[in-house]
Structure 1
Amino acid sequence: MPAYWDWSQDWKNMPLAPVWDTDGGFGGDGQRNAPITVGEGRCVSDGPFANVEAQYFGDKAIPHCLSRGFASGAHIVRIGEPISPDALEELRETSTTFAEYAPELERRAHTFMRDGIRGEFRAYTGPYDPVFFLHHVNVDRLWALWQTSATGGEIAYGGPRHDTAGASAATLDDTLNIGNLLPSVPVSAVMDTSNGFLCYQY
């Protein structure tokens, strides 16, 4: 199993990406002739996650099958072009600040997933689909590449905080709190993936 899905390699024909393989991947599209379930998706019927039941869609209790609804043709090419290797390289080379790079990378990647895969990715319940995690690891990988590029910055960080009233400015001293999964640490502790706290590299 791959550690991340480099969707830039599949931007022209996403439905044929190896990540959707029935045996070695995560299963494919929703059943084409089945009823629509959520997010313009249909039940996934092949692969290791067929028949998985999700309980929510967005913030509403809507029990349903794991759902996908792949876009195709000209539409997938149109939303895929901004995350093509050439487009991502241009973004990396021309973005000199975190404020330029991070929001644009996020916009391109999330548009591709939301409008290309649909189903669970159309709401805040994307984590029901295991591919959600491969997608986000790839976003992390691309950020790490930008950080170590000539235009990036290893400690470049910013934007508004979303956990306080008034959306004050984010800083490297802000605390990352993820419940009981790991100890709380400052943002500065996770800016370098190869340091002692995270200890991984791409």
Structure 2
Amino acid sequence: MAKMLLSLAALLAATTATSAACTNPSIRKPWTALTEDEKAGYVNSTLCLMDPTQAPAKVRSWGATSRWEELVVAHIAQVRYIHTVGALFPWHRWYTKIHEDLLRNECGYTGPYPYAYPSSLSPFSHFKKPPKQSPTHIYSSYWDLQADEALYSIQNASVWDTASSVKAFGTGRTDAATNCILDGAFADYRVRFNTQLERDETEGGGVCLTRALNQTAFDTVSQANVVEPCMALERGDDYGEMLGCLGNTPHSGGHLGVGGIMRDHARSPADPIFYLHHTNFDRLWWEWQTSSPGRLHAMGGPNVAANQIFLDAQPKILPEDMFLPYFGDGGGNVTTLEHVLWMPGLAENITIRDTMDVRGEKMCFDYV
């Protein structure tokens, strides 16, 4: 235990490197705005991250063999400290940025980083106007669940891409007995880690990627009368109130609406659709941040999830007393801008302050 504490302390205490100012931000676009070639490039780069021969693990935390597994492990390791807490939004903003960087820098992806929606249906219309950009801008993409919810059926969601030749995320069909996905680029992927960070090394071990589409849960995601009140200026600039509102509707609804492994609080990043969902979730936070001057750097909320579900999901080898001293909040249970975001060797550990402006030097992206 002492050795583990020292190891965790070293990771959490990693210094923040200085980076150049953001002059050419990555532009995040809807999945539906990608060309067929761009979609194919995204899928191939994702498969690359999953392949230990193409993108071998560099840190090998808890026995991870690929960069994809290292992403999943980073989420499993601290599930209680990144959900229903102040760090929910900033941690996942940094996490999706790291995911994008891995796709580009280690697997050669050059297209948009996806969120997906039929653009004419989004209630957040001011994201339609792209920021001024140079011809060399990098594009990324995301899944706009708000627009897909307007199609009334999760079976019709744009991410299933039934009309596309790429079939990236499949058609949404699953095996009736196991809920294993039946088609798409990731149908053969196996999730090797359990929620206690134990890896199944046996041939064919682990579990398949599962989904169980749930219309009722999906309906909580994005109807205008659900999401827009979270954004309302009359609610004020209180981060904690927004956290409870957006965190319990579009965030939870996306996970529960897709179901299967996406319902797993710890292992949901094993499903590639997780990153599209969370990029859209981040887009909504940015919408909230930029709607009032007092919101851009608003922060608060607890550091430790009180919900028993997250206590049960947290790996027993990484208890609360191994985290609080290193968060940078004075050992207390209130999240501040100086709170350190831990990424177990995937990237530098930065503070929440570093994530607050998506156009800042650390994040360096924007939404259209």
Q: Same fold (TM over 0.5)?
A: yes
1:117 partnered with 2:117: no
What is residue 140 of structure 1 aligned with on the other side?
282
What does residue 157 of structure 1 align with?
299
Greater RCO (Cα-Cα under 8 Å, separation 6 or more): 2
AA at the equivalent of 2:183:
D
> Which deviates more, 23-32 or 54-63?
54-63
In the alignment, what sits opposite 1:55?
Answer: 192
Letter in 2 for 1:5: W
Distance 1:45 1:92, change over 3 A: same
Gap runs ≥5 in structure 2: 1-38, 40-113, 115-140, 305-322, 326-330
Structure 2 counterpart SS, 1:80: helix
How do 1:37-52 residues align onto structure 2 when only pairs under 5 Å count? 42-52=179-189
Note the residue ranges of structure 1 that are not aligned, 5 or more in a row. Answer: 37-41
Structure 1 residues 21 and 13, CA, compared in 2 at 3 Å: closer, same or farther?
A: same
Aligned to 1:39: none
**Residues 1:5 and 2:143 are matched in the alignment:** yes
Q: Which has the larger radius of gyration?
A: 2
What is the match of residue 159 of structure 2? Answer: 19
Q: Which moved more, 1:60-69 or 1:191-200?
A: 60-69
How far apart are residue 31 of structure 1 and its match? 2.5
Q: Is the contact between residue 50 and residue 66 of structure 1 (CA under 8 Å) also seen in structure 2?
A: yes
Instruction: Determine whether 1:179 maps to 2:344.
Output: yes
Whole-angstrom CA distance in 1 between matches of 2:274 and 2:351: 25
| Match 1:88 to one of 223, 227, 230 | 227
Instruction: Give the TM-score normalised by structure 1.
Output: 0.83
Q: Considering fraction of residues, name the structure with more helix.
A: 2
2:192 match: secondary structure? strand
Q: 1:43 aligns to what SS in structure 2?
A: coil
Name the CA distance, whole Å, in 2 between partners of 1:30 and 1:167.
Answer: 46
Please give the per-residue CA displacement for 1:81-137, whole angstroms capped at 9, x wherever unaligned.
Answer: 452234322220143210111122111124313432111012121111100111111
Larger mean CA deviation between 42-51 and 164-173 belongs to 164-173
Using the alignment, how far apart are the partners of 2:161 and 2:177 within structure 1? 23
SS state of the match for residue 35, structure 1? Answer: coil
Q: Distance in 2 between matches of 1:9 and 1:135?
A: 12
CA distance in 2: counterparts of 1:9 and 1:90, whole angstroms: 16
Distance 1:126 1:168 in 2: 26
Distance across 2 between alignment mates of 1:67 and 1:13? 19
1:66 equivalenced with 2:198 (yes/no): no
Which residue among 168, 190, 201 is the counterpart of 2:355?
190
**Residues of 2 paired with 1:114 and 1:200: CA distance?**
24
Q: Identity rate of aligned residues, in percent? A: 30
2 CA distance for matches of 1:181 and 1:4? 21
Q: How many angstroms apart in 1 are the aligned matches of 2:229 and 2:155?
A: 25
| 2:348 counterpart of 1:169 | no
> In 2 relative to 1, CA 178–82 (structure 1 residues): closer, same or farther, beyond 3 Å?
closer
Answering whether residue 171 of structure 2 is matched by residue 28 of structure 1, we say yes
**Alignment check: 8 A CA contact 1:54 1:64 kept:** yes
SS in 2 for 1:135: helix
Q: 2:269 aligns with which of 127, 135, 153?
A: 127
What's the TM-score once normalised by structure 2's chain length?
0.48
